[in-house]
Amino acid sequence: MSGTPVSSGAEAGTPVFESSLTDFFQLMKPRVMSLVIFTALVGMVAAPGNLHPVLGAIALLAIAVGAGASGALNMWYEADIDAVMQRTAARPIPRGRVTEDEALSFGVILSVASVLTLGVLVNWVAGSLLALTIAFYVFVYTMWLKRRTPHNIVIGGAAGAFPPMVGWAAVTGSVSIESIVLFLIIFTWTPPHFWALALYRNRDYQRAGIPMLPVVAGDVETRKQILFYSVLMVATAAVPIFIGLGGLAYAVTSSVLGVVFLWFAFRVWSIREGRDSDKAAKQLFLFSIFYLFVLFAVLMAEHAIAAFLT
């Protein structure tokens, strides 16, 4: 890992120090961070019990910073493959705006600070889960699985599924069946979401040498797996109805959106060639984001309204 500043200026060989706070913010993967904040908030609102709003805000901030820290560490480790992928070539390290050493220090400091803050100020179950989330994303997904196996995002997806559990633990100080179900919904949502993206970004992943499922097993197998995991996800998303975590609004939303999700997944499975094939994959990818957002928003609204009325 080079610690020398990368020159991106006009004078070749002259170190240029151009990074700004915006570049460091970009290192934290703000879009991923926003999804983490949202799912963690759902976990906090759905959890039984009370947490002082100030402590709740601190918990959310710590979870967001922890997610951002793991994003920075991911970018530090993957700088070489980010540089050759169209989707990631504009990130701060490949563009030479932040050095790898800077990203590493930034990620480590924020990881430690976020875990300590959550542990000391809220509770250590939540703090430990946040530490596990960061460690899982960095060591298990980024360093171990991503470049080695097409199952990278299946197992690695756990890292993205932890935030509602962390949010839940921030309120209750424990892990329960309900929070595990929230985890499982995101866990089973991740494969169809990412494989849909990988289908139409196949060349990008091939060029970077990442063994995503379409690269290793081919399109047909990927489409089959997308359909399989979509069925599994829709079934998992129905569980809250039966354990009392979701109410009527959730039941209706989960059922309707689940059918639509399966329809998009079926289209990806059945349309295998031509432009329409890429279009179907893109539609599933975009719908999967909408699906998760609405599903969790409804769950949160139900619990927020119930808390307001009691």
Partner 1 sequence: MTTIGTVMTGEDKSEEQRAQKQRTRSIGIALGLALLVVLFYVATLVRLGPDVLNRPI
Q: Give the Å distances, CA to CA, from 42 to 60, 165, 220, 266.
A: 11, 10, 36, 29
CA dist 235 and 258 (Å) reads: 9
User: Residue 23 Cβ, how far from partner 1 at the closest point, in Å?
Assistant: 10
CA dist 291 and 186 (Å) reads: 11
User: Residue 15 Cβ, how far from partner 1 at the closest point, in Å?
Assistant: 6
| Encoded tokens for 47 | 């959890």
CB-based contacts of 68: which residues, under 8 Å, 6+ apart?
27, 28, 29, 30, 33, 110
Nearer to partner 1, 111 or 117 (CB): 117
User: Residue 17 Cβ, how far from partner 1 at the closest point, in Å?
Assistant: 4
User: Residue 114 Cβ, how far from partner 1 at the closest point, in Å?
Assistant: 10
Nearer to partner 1, 52 or 275 (CB): 52
Nearer to partner 1, 58 or 262 (CB): 58
- Interface with partner 1 by CB under 8 A: which residues? 11, 14-21, 24, 52, 54-55, 58, 61, 113, 117, 120-121
CB-based contacts of 97: which residues, under 8 Å, 6+ apart?
8, 18, 19, 20, 23
CA dist 228 and 205 (Å) reads: 22
Query: Within a 10 A sphere around the Cβ of 290, how many other Cβ atoms?
Result: 12
> What does the DSSP assignment read for 131-195?
HHHHHIIIIIIIIIITTT-TTHHHHHHHHHHSHHHHHHHHHHSS--HHHHHHHHHHHHHHHHHHH
Nearer to partner 1, 55 or 231 (CB): 55
Nearer to partner 1, 79 or 98 (CB): 98
Nearer to partner 1, 111 or 277 (CB): 111
User: Residue 80 Cβ, how far from partner 1 at the closest point, in Å?
Assistant: 24
The answer to whether 130 touches 114, Cβ cutoff 8 Å, is yes
User: Residue 52 Cβ, how far from partner 1 at the closest point, in Å?
Assistant: 5
